[in-house]
Structures are given as structure tokens and as C-alpha cells.
Amino acid sequence: MRGANFGGSPDRRILIVGGGFGAVYTALGLEKLLKPEDRTEVTLVNPENFFLFTPMLAEIVSSQIDTSHAINPLRRMFKRTRFVEGAAKSIDLAAQSVLVRHPNGDEFGYPYDHLVIAVGARVGYFGMEDVEKNSYTAKTLGDAIRLRNRAIALLEIAEIERNPDSRAEILTLVVAGGGFTGVEVAAEINDLIRQAAKSYPSITQRDLRVILVEAKNRILPEFDEGLAAFATKRLRASGVELRTNTTVAGVTDHAVLIKDQDPIPSRTLIWNTGVAPNPLIAGSDLPQTGRGWVKVDATMRAEGWANVWALGDCAQIPDILNPGHNQPALAQHAIREAPALARNIVASMRGEVAQPFHYRTMGQLATLGHFNGIGTIGPFRVQGLVAWLAWRSYYLWRLPRLEKRLRVATDWTVDLIFGRDISQIQTYAATSPKGRDLEDDLYGNPNDEPSTVKGTHR
Ligand SMILES: Cc1cc2nc3c(=O)[nH]c(=O)nc-3n(C[C@H](O)[C@H](O)[C@H](O)COP(=O)(O)OP(=O)(O)OC[C@H]3O[C@@H](n4cnc5c(N)ncnc54)[C@H](O)[C@@H]3O)c2cc1C
């Protein structure tokens, strides 16, 4: 195997599994620290060949940012790290090797001297299989594309639906989970369908319903009560209905089931609550917490393994500034854990002592759509337009690579002038209409027998 990092045969190999904030910024940190004389090859393995900037995902859903503008090709982000497209299937800690499955089905073992686990977390469904099978999520780029298409498909089909009950079901979207991402997704999808509906003559604003369901007695537990109350008021003003103190109990083809309440007639549940560990961890001998996260010390070294490290959402990293607590699962933490982890790997390669990671959250910003936001920046609380502008400025600055920043800034400007693009990104090829099956539940599969002709549409 060629030593892609420095052009020779490596003395040491560092293998990074994952391609999110933790993994990518660890690779970039190592690129800064490692010298050619270290003769160390860094390899990063991820199933997708791009890095997704998740804070902008809700804006991809709402069509404010073009699909490919908040992602960055990993090969363009790295100067010396070797990128390999594939998914880690299993880890052999004793043999120091990770089995990787590539898109063509080939599987290879990747040996390592140091291993970094940064596989993030999965969506958790609390054992509700119906929800897992029949809901939409907002975690990956594919999710965002699917959700945006779904929202527009709902409007298209409602425009021709004449049964009022079916129409009401189609135009009602339920979002489960009133945390930070649930609120952002509800706000953005609400903005999208309300703005898009203006192009559909038979759909009025009153026909549209976005219902946010939250188990606690208020939304946004990440923020103080005042900011959460501001968000509640603004969401309601923009048309989002809030149901607190209750949970989604299941989903059918025509309704979202709500605990101790009447079902909500709806064909679209967006699931934004619950996290679960990546199955790669459960299937390995990595030290794990009771909930299945990788157990590491404050230097991010896995307990009992001197050359295995983990960071980001998949790891439970003790917070030494706040004893008894762990680093939160946030990009702003993963992005700071990564260079500290890179320093610790290099220190341990050079026989030096690894240092504990510490970082205090700087604050948090959330968009509420419609020129609104809330947030804390150090000791300051911000809300409304100021928070929205702060959100846009901060995340634009944080988005990797100038090219993508320019593209996103252009998207935002064009959106302000011309409104949202409401074209559905259909995936079927001219030779095969089968790609349309994403929306089969709304349209029926085009390969099926034609359904009953319902007469002439007025
Ligand atoms: C919609 C949304 C909005 C968010 N907004 C914010 C925000 O505004 N601010 C903030 O601080 N945080 C935000 N977060 C949280 C933030 O995205 C996460 O905390 C952060 O992404 C964690 O980084 P990570 O590297 O641990 O995991 P991830 O970024 O999730 O990356 C995990 C990577 O591992 C890869 N992977 C998984 N399994 C395998 C395998 N078997 N083999 C190889 N690779 C694998 C995945 O493909 C992925 O690339 C948001 C999250 C979401 C979903």
C-alpha cells in the first residue's frame, strides 16, 4: 500500500473512522502536526466522500441552501490525508485492524498503529418499529433531500386532491422532538411550505399545519426559559402548532399517534428525538458505557487501550471543568476535541504525556426561520433578528472552504430576492421510472396498474 501522506512506505499508520466534525478536524490537526520525518500515514474512512456541515442541514431542507453547497468533498479538504470511501464493519483491537467494506462490495482489513473512532450517533426510536420504518429524519444529506422533496410533493398532490379529509392529512406535517434540531427543522419546513404554497392556487395558508410535539413541558431545554418562551411565541406566530407534555406513540399510513390524545391525521412524521450508538461500537470490544458510547478518559483515550481514541458524539468524554458531567454532543465541542486529540496522538507517538481536553461552551445559536433566532454568546442573550444575523454570520464563517462560503452567501441573497426554489429533485432516469419510489406512498408506483379514473378534474 502506497504511503500517500509523504510518498514513502510508512513506519506508522493512523486510521480515522468517520467523516464528520470529529474525524475531519482530527485529520486536519494531524496534517498540521506531523512532519515528513514522522513517516506516518493518516487514512480516513467514511461511507460518503464529503463532509456535511450539519448546522446548515435544516436550511437545505427548506431550500434556502442548494443541496451541494453545505457539503465539502473530503479530497479537497485534505492535503496529505488519504481518503478511502467505505464503511467500517468490524474492529479487531487485538490484531490492530479494521475491516472496511467498500461501495463495490470488496472488503479489506486496514491495519493501524493508532485508531480514532469518530462515527457519531444514530437516530434512536425507543423501540418503535413503525416510527423507524415510516418517519423522516434530518441527520444526513440524503435525509434533507428526501424531506425537501416530500414537502413539495405534498403540495403538488394536495393541489389535485379533492377529498377534504385526505387533503387535510396531506397538508399536516408532524415534527417529533422540540429540542434544538427539531425546532430548527419545524421552523424551516414551515417556512418552506408556507412560502411555496403561494404558487399553488388551491392551497391557502390555513390549510397548512406543522405540529411540533415535545415530551417536556417546554421546547428548547438547551436554552433558558425566557429564550424558549420567545421561540414559542415566534413559532406560533409563524403558524407552527406546539404540543408539549406529550409524545408520539406511533404512526400509521394516515395518522400520527399521540400518547393519551386523539391521533393527528397526517401522512408525514419527521422524527427529531432520540439518539442511539453506532452499531459498530456495540459489535466491538471497545470499552463502552451502559448506554453504548465509547468510554474514554479526558485525553480521549479508550479505557484499557493505549492506541485507541474516540471523540465527538460517539464518545463519552468526561468534562474536567464540570466534574460528573461529560462533553456535550455538539459540533462546536467536536471541532475543539479534534485538535486536542491530534496533539495527544502525536505526543504519545513521541513518548510524551497526553493532556486532558477541556473546553467551556461559548454559547449556542438556533434559527427559528423567518428572520428569527435565539441564542447565547458568552454572557449575552440574543433573540430575533440579531440572533438570526449572528447565526448566519457565525456559521458562514465556520463553513469550511471559501468556495462553499461564497455559494451559500449567494444562495441566501438569491433566496431573499426571488424566494425559494420549489422544483422537486426527481431521481428517476429516463429509461427507468423506478427511481420515483421515494414518493410511491403519495403517487403510487408508476409501474403499477393505473388506479381508478376519477372523472374530469375541475
Ligand atoms: C440537523 C442538525 C443540526 C445541528 N446543528 C448543530 C449546531 O448548530 N451546532 C452544534 O454545535 N451542533 C449541531 N449539531 C450536532 C453536530 O452535528 C454533532 O454534534 C456533530 O456532527 C458530531 O460530530 P461527529 O464527528 O461526532 O459525528 P458526525 O458529524 O455525525 O459524523 C459521523 C461520521 O461517521 C460516519 N460513519 C458512521 N458509521 C461509520 C462506519 N461504520 N464507518 C465509517 N464511517 C462511519 C458517518 O458517515 C459520518 O460521516 C447538529 C446536528 C444535526 C443532525
Residue 384 exposed, middle or buried by CB count within 10 Å (0-12, 13-18, 19+): middle
Mutate to test the pocket of ligand 1, among 46, 48, 53, 54 (most ligand atoms within 8 A of CB): 54
The per-residue pLDDT for 453 is: 64
Q: Which residue has the higher pLDDT, 419 or 28?
A: 28
Instruction: Give the DSSP letter of residue 195.
Output: H
- Closest by CA to 220, choosing from 206, 207, 233, 237, is 233
Percent share of the chain, pLDDT over 90? 88
Residue found under cell 406543522: 210
Where do the structural domains in the chain lie, given as residue ranges? 12-47+86-123+276-349, 129-273+362-418
Mean pLDDT, rounded, for 363-379? 93
Find out whether 258 and 176 touch, Cβ atoms under 8 Å: no
pTM: 0.93
CA angle (433 as vertex; 431, 436 as ends), nearest 5: 145
Give the span between the Cα atoms of 417 and 392, in whole angstroms. Answer: 17
Grid coordinates standing for 190? 414551515
The per-residue pLDDT for 426 is: 67
The per-residue pLDDT for 44 is: 98
What fold is seen in the domain 12-47+86-123+276-349? Answer: FAD/NAD(P)-binding domain (3.50.50)
The per-residue pLDDT for 5 is: 60
Say if residue 449's pLDDT is above 90: no
CA angle (362 as vertex; 392, 79 as ends), nearest 5: 70
pLDDT digits (tens, 9 = 90+) for 245-289: 999 999 999 999 999 999 999 999 999 999 999 999 999 999 999
The per-residue pLDDT for 362 is: 84
* pLDDT band (50, 70, 90) for residue 369: confident
Give the span between the Cα atoms of 373 and 395, in whole angstroms. Answer: 13
- CATH class of the structural domain 129-273+362-418: alpha beta
Mutate to test the pocket of ligand 1, among 90, 91, 119, 189 (most ligand atoms within 8 A of CB): 119
Find out whether 218 and 244 touch, Cβ atoms under 8 Å: yes
pLDDT digits (tens, 9 = 90+) for 99-152: 999 999 999 999 999 999 999 999 999 999 999 999 999 999 999 999 999 999
Domains 12-47+86-123+276-349 and 129-273+362-418 share a fold: yes
The H-or-E segment that residue 63 falls in is none
Give the residues surrounding ligand 1 with Cβ less than 6 Å away: 17-23, 45-48, 54-55, 57-58, 87-88, 118-120, 138-139, 181, 278, 280, 312-314, 329-332, 334
Say if residue 303's pLDDT is above 50: yes
The H-or-E segment that residue 15 falls in is strand 12-17
pLDDT digits (tens, 9 = 90+) for 234-247: 999 999 999 999 99
